[in-house]
Every structure is written in structure tokens, then in C-alpha cells.
Amino acid sequence: MGGEPPCGLTGSQAPFFCIFSALASCVSLGLVMPRDLCCPSSSRIRMPLTSRAPLKHRLSEQFSGLWYVVSMVSDCKVFLGKKDHLLMSSRTIRAMPGGNLSVHMEFPRADGCHQLDAEYLRVGSEGHFRVPALGYLDVRVADTDYDTFAVLYIYKELEGALSTMVQLYSRTQEASPQATKAFQDFYPTVGLPNDMMVMLPKSDVCSSAGKEAS
């Protein structure tokens, strides 16, 4: 497909926000999708939130280690068309100088495990990051207890249109009732309904699968 890449991304990054942790296949194939597949209309603009919960100082150290993306919800049309075929992915996070995070992502696919590395740059308050490698996605830790779960609020805005995703991170492949409740309590506050949510099935395709964070 031709035309201007959606959501402010270029080249192989173009569709990545829409399917952020779930459809890495589109990134590797270098697909470019029409903007209306990724960005909702301007009538759905929502302002970014600050974290609901107080975050500890030095969040980057507390947040390090292995996480599984066990559930997600998004208003992106690409995501909505693919969500029932997605699998659980993982993140291995390391603290970096200045409160930044080094994030190694693994995405299971039918043809193997696809991997991606990105640096999350801290901006402003604790728990707020931008990701240059992914078109400067805005990522905020909306809620976390550090030991078992985290709720991440992710968005990308271009020309007044905002596309939103909320992800549930878990230290194990089975999210606790507390984690699930925190996730389900949060995403309606940014305008995402239940029918845009998916709980992701486990996969043993990637090397991190089946491992629990220590």
C-alpha cells in the first residue's frame, strides 16, 4: 500500500503502534496502512492521564525484570480486526541511567519468535516515557504494585487524532484477580469499552515463555 504512513510513523514502523505488542509481523513485513485504520476521528480525542497511583522513586529499578503482556485493549481498527488471533508476548526490562528503560520484546508468531529492542526515555514525572524507536509513542505506567502487575497507558497523536492502547503486564503468565481488576477499572476511564479487550493465550514459541520472573 502507498501513501503517507499512519500515526506519524515511517517505513516499517508505520503500523506498529496500532498493533504495538501483538502484531510485530506487520513491522517485519514493512507494511504501510491507511491512516484511518490506525487513528480514530478527532471527535474521540482524549487527553493523556497522569498516573492514578503514586509511583516510587527510581521506578526504573523497581520495574526491571520479566513481564508478560497478558491482556490489552485498543480502539485501533487493525488491532480490533486481529485481536482474537493474538498470543501473549513478553518484555524483559532493564534500568538505564537517568531513569530510562531498556526493553527487549518477544512476539510469538506462527513462523517463530520475533524480537525487538527499544529504549524508553523518561520524560517529566515518574512512570512517563517516550519511545523514539516506535515513532515517539507516549507510554505511562498508570498503575502498578511492581511485584505482580502493571497497567500501561499508551497513545499516539497526529493532527488531532488519538489512538489509544492499554496493556496489562503480569510477572507471571496468570494474572492475579487484583491485576485484572486494576486493568478493568482503568481502561474505561480512557474511553475503551469491554468489547475492545482481549485476554491473550499463552505461547511457548519464544524463549521467555514458561519462565517466571524471580
Closest CA to 152 of 165, 167, 170: 167
Structure-block grid coordinates of residue 38 = 490506525
CATH of the domain at 165: 2.40.128.20
Buried-exposed string 6-44: b where 16+ CB fall within 10 A, e elsewhere: bbbbeeebbbbbbbbbbbbbbbeeebbbebebbbbeeee
Label residue 53 left, alpha or beta by phi (over 0 means left) and psi (-120 to 50 means alpha): beta
What is the mean pLDDT of the segment spanning 144-154? 94
Structure-block grid coordinates of residue 15 = 503500523
Of the two residues 130 and 60, the one the predictor is more confident about is 130
* Domain contains 212: no
Query: How crowded is residue 160: how many other Cβ atoms within 10 Å of its Cβ?
Result: 10
* Domain contains 1: no
Of the two residues 59 and 29, the one the predictor is more confident about is 59
Q: How many Cα atoms are found within 13 Å in the side-chain-facing hemisphere of 71?
A: 24
- Residue 163 near residue 8 (C-beta atoms within 8 A): no
Number of domains in the chain: 1
* Domain contains 119: yes
Provide the 8-state DSSP code for 199: E
What is the mean pLDDT of the segment spanning 128-153? 91
Q: Is 29 helix (H, G, I), strand (E, B) or coil?
A: helix
- Report pLDDT digits (tens) over 87-117: 999 999 999 988 999 999 998 888 889 899 9
Residue 77: the pLDDT is 80
* Domain contains 81: yes
Residue 161: the pLDDT is 67
* Domain contains 206: no
* Domain contains 77: yes
Assess whether pLDDT exceeds 70 at residue 48. Answer: no
pTM, 2 dp:
0.76
DSSP codes, 128-196: EEEEGGGTSEEEEEEEE-SSSEEEEEEEEEETTEEEEEEEEEESSSS--HHHHHHHHHHGGGGT--GGG
Assess whether pLDDT exceeds 80 at residue 213. Answer: no
Residue 157: the pLDDT is 72
Confidence grade of residue 134 (pLDDT, cut at 50, 70, 90): confident
Give the span between the Cα atoms of 149 and 169, in whole angstroms: 5
Domain that holds residue 145: 6-46+55-199
Helix (H) or strand (E) holding 49: none
Structure-block grid coordinates of residue 125 = 514525572
The least confident of 74-78, 177-181, 209-213 is 209-213
